[in-house]
Amino acid sequence: MGSAPHNDSIRTNSRPGSLLGRFLHDSRGATAIEFAMLAIPFSLMVFAILESCISFGGSQILTNATDDIARQFRTGQIRTINETDLKTMVCDRIKIIVENNCPGLVVDLRKFDTFAEAADVRLKFTADNDLDTAGFKVELGPAQTINMLRVFYKWPVMTDFMSLAMSNLKDGKTLHFAEVVWKNEPFN
């Protein structure tokens, strides 16, 4: 009966006792090495998917809160408001997914004469890659005026290695925002 070739016969290309030769021809740890080579990219992909999903969920909650508050303004349920109260209203609606007291929350509520003026308002950033809040105010117009509510939240990216790919602000944060433009109803 013939016998299977012995591992020593394969080592003919390298020196029989060399460390490299023994390492290259020993297959006892191959599964562990293959798992390690695949586990790292797989883990990175799982973290990227989770980070993106949580970020998207936070953005959707912010959008829903902004729409809800804008509807109250549009229908005249709320006719006057200041910045602190507006931030509190938004924060109460998004607190399920953000830190206490909503750090990084910025609001901008303005009235316009035409929809074209509202469309000309652009998002600006500072030289150090932060949101430029110059000109932001809280000024709700009376009945039958055109208004725009913009809500911004500086979302922290949770996984460090994703901050380079996902962040668009300084300090490894990404900007979530929602915007609604409407004409108030004749509620007087």
Question: Would you state the pLDDT for residue 175?
Answer: 93
Question: Would you state the pLDDT for residue 11?
Answer: 46
Question: Would you state the pLDDT for residue 2?
Answer: 53
Residue 31 CB contacts under 8 Å (≥ 6 apart), including other chains: none
User: Which range, of 27-31, 74-78, 79-83, 127-131, averages the lowest pLDDT?
Assistant: 27-31
Q: Is the pLDDT of residue 9 over 70?
A: no
DSSP-derived letter for residue 105 is: E
> What digits encode the pLDDT tens for the residues 133-172?
999 999 999 999 999 999 999 999 887 777 777 888 888 8
> What digits encode the pLDDT tens for the residues 15-54?
556 777 776 777 777 777 888 889 989 998 998 899 999 9
Token pair for 17: 């006792």
- Residue 51: name the closest of 152, 160, 130 by CA: 160
Token pair for 34: 């293959």
